[in-house]
Structure 1
Amino acid sequence: MYVCVCNAITDSQIKACVAQGIVSFGQIKRELGVASNCGRCANMTKRIVQQQHEQGLICLRKVA
């Protein structure tokens, strides 16, 4: 499903970022460009990240 219509970003893309360890809204915004136009998708994006966290699907990146 499209979350960000302005930039054609889907929930699957957001979930893929979370699975790769990109876990904050700010990081996802920088990576995908979500919420960079009208911003109406910001809350949905945050909800998806929270759901992934609650399901234990977040993989934190190791910092070298």
Structure 2
Amino acid sequence: MYVCICYAVPDGEIKSCIARGARTVDEVGDACGAGTGCGSCHDHIDVFLAAAHAQPDVAALSRSA
């Protein structure tokens, strides 16, 4: 699925940029161009960023709840 229509950047490429260290929308844009056009994909990129960076936090939660 394309996340950035302006530059035809698919979700896999966004995830790859994040896996290689991109931590902000601007850093994703620097890495692959996504989000550097009209900006309508910024919210979608933010979701991928939040999901990628939330995983360690979720793993650290107590399982006793």
Q: Does TM, normalized by the shorter one, top 0.5? A: yes
Structure whose residues are more often helix by fraction: 2
Structure 1: gaps of 5 or more residues: 57-64
TM normalised by structure 2 equals: 0.75
- The one-character-per-residue Cα deviations of 1:8-47 (angstroms, maximum 9, x if unpaired) are 0011111111111122211111111112221110110111
Percent identity (aligned):
32
Greater Rg over alpha carbons, structure: 2
C-alpha RMSD of the superposition = 1.1
TM normalised by structure 1 equals: 0.76
Q: How many equivalent pairs are there?
A: 56
Structure 2: gaps of 5 or more residues: 57-65
Runs of at least 4 residues off by over 6 Å: none
